[in-house]
Structure 1
Amino acid sequence: MITVVGTGTGAPLPPDAEAAVARADLVVGARRHLAAARLPAGAEQVVLGPLAPALDIVERYVAKAEENQQEGAAGARVVVLASGDPGFFGIVRALAERFGPERLDVRPGVSSVATAFARLGLPWDDAVVVSAHGRDLRTAAHVCRSHPKVAVLTGPGSGPAELGAALTHRSGARVLVVASALGDPAHERVEQVTPAEAAARDWGTAVSVVLCLDESRVLAPVRTVAGPAAGPDRWALDESEFAHRDSMISKFEVRALALARIGPRLGDLVWDVGAGCGSVAVECARFGAAVTAIEKTRDGCDRIRANAGAHGVDVRVVHGAAPTVLSDLEDPDAVFIGGGGRELPAIVAVCARRARRAVVVAMAALDRVPAARDALEAAGFACDGVLLQSSRLAPLPGNVTRLAATNPVFLLWGVRPLARTEGVPP
Structure 2
Amino acid sequence: MIGIDGGGLPPGADDALAAAEVVLGGARHLRSVPVPPSASRVELGPVEPALERLAGRRGVVLASGDPGFFGIVRLLRERGYEPVVLPARSSVQLLFARLGRSWDDVAVVSAHGRALGPAVNVCRARPAVAVLTAPGAGPAEIGAALDGWPRTLVVAEDLGGPDERLTTLPAAEAAARDWHPLTVVLCLRDPDAVPGRGWHAGGEPVPPGRGWALPDDAFDHRAGMVTKAEVRALVLARLAPRPGTLVWDVGAGSGSVAVECARLGAAALAVERRADDAARIAANAAAHGVDVRVVEGEAPAALAGLPHPDAVFVGGGGPEVVAAATGADRVVVALAALDRIAPTRAALHAAGLAVDGVQLAASRFADLPDGSVRLAATNPITILWGTRP
* TM-score bracket relative to the smaller structure: over 0.9
List aligned pairs for 1:4-19, cutoff 5 A. 4-7=1-4, 9-19=5-15
Do 2:20 and 2:58's aligned partners in 1 also have CA atoms closer than 8 Å?
yes
Match of residue 319 from structure 2: 345
Aligned-residue offset at 1:225: 2.6
Do 1:274 and 1:295's aligned partners in 2 also have CA atoms closer than 8 Å?
yes
The answer to whether residue 149 in structure 2 is matched with residue 171 in structure 1 is yes
Match of residue 81 from structure 1: 62
Q: Work out the CA distance in 2 between the residues paired with 1:332 and 1:217.
A: 30
Do 1:148 and 1:218's aligned partners in 2 also have CA atoms closer than 8 Å?
no
Identity across the alignment (%): 57
Cα RMSD (Å): 1.4
Aligned-residue offset at 1:101: 4.1
List aligned pairs for 1:397-416, cutoff 5 A. 397-416=369-388
The answer to whether residue 216 in structure 2 is matched with residue 243 in structure 1 is no
Please state whether the residue corresponding to 1:335 is helix, strand or coil: strand
Match of residue 200 from structure 2: 225
Aligned-residue offset at 1:165: 0.7
List aligned pairs for 1:135-214, cutoff 5 A. 135-168=114-147, 170-172=148-150, 174-184=151-161, 186-207=162-183, 209-214=184-189
TM-score by length of 2: 0.96
1:346 aligned partner, one-letter code: E
Do 2:215 and 2:229's aligned partners in 1 also have CA atoms closer than 8 Å?
yes
Do 2:158 and 2:180's aligned partners in 1 also have CA atoms closer than 8 Å?
no
Deviations 1:355-404 (A, max 9, x none): 1x211100000111111111111212111111111111111112121111
1:203 aligned partner, one-letter code: W
Do 1:334 and 1:358's aligned partners in 2 also have CA atoms closer than 8 Å?
yes
TM-score by length of 1: 0.88
Q: Work out the CA distance in 2 between the residues paired with 1:15 and 1:328.
A: 52
Aligned-residue offset at 1:216: 5.8
Do 1:84 and 1:108's aligned partners in 2 also have CA atoms closer than 8 Å?
yes
Deviations 1:310-361 (A, max 9, x none): 1111001111111111121122100100001xxx111111212x11x21110
The answer to whether residue 29 in structure 2 is matched with residue 33 in structure 1 is yes
List aligned pairs for 1:118-133, cutoff 5 A. 118-133=97-112
Match of residue 421 from structure 1: none
Closer/same/farther in 2, CA of residues 225 and 402 from structure 1, 3 Å limit: same
Please state whether the residue corresponding to 1:328 is helix, strand or coil: coil
Aligned-residue offset at 1:228: 4.1
Aligned-residue offset at 1:140: 1.1
Q: Work out the CA distance in 1 between the residues paired with 2:81 and 2:364.
A: 56
Deviations 1:222-281 (A, max 9, x none): 333322421212111111111111111111110011001111000100000000110101
Instruction: Name the one with the larger helix percent.
Output: 1
Aligned-residue offset at 1:220: 3.0
Do 2:3 and 2:10's aligned partners in 1 also have CA atoms closer than 8 Å?
no
1:321 aligned partner, one-letter code: E
The count of aligned residue pairs is 387
Aligned-residue offset at 1:217: 7.6
List aligned pairs for 1:291-302, cutoff 5 A. 291-302=268-279
> Which residue of 91, 113, 116 maps to 2:72?
91
Do 1:134 and 1:156's aligned partners in 2 also have CA atoms closer than 8 Å?
no
Q: Work out the CA distance in 2 between the residues paired with 1:216 and 1:296.
A: 32
Please state whether the residue corresponding to 1:106 is helix, strand or coil: coil
Do 1:144 and 1:171's aligned partners in 2 also have CA atoms closer than 8 Å?
no
Q: Work out the CA distance in 1 between the residues paired with 2:180 and 2:205.
A: 36
Q: Which runs of 5+ in 2 are unaligned?
A: none
Aligned-residue offset at 1:200: 0.8
List aligned pairs for 1:58-73, cutoff 5 A. 58=54, 62-63=55-56
Closer/same/farther in 2, CA of residues 141 and 367 from structure 1, 3 Å limit: same
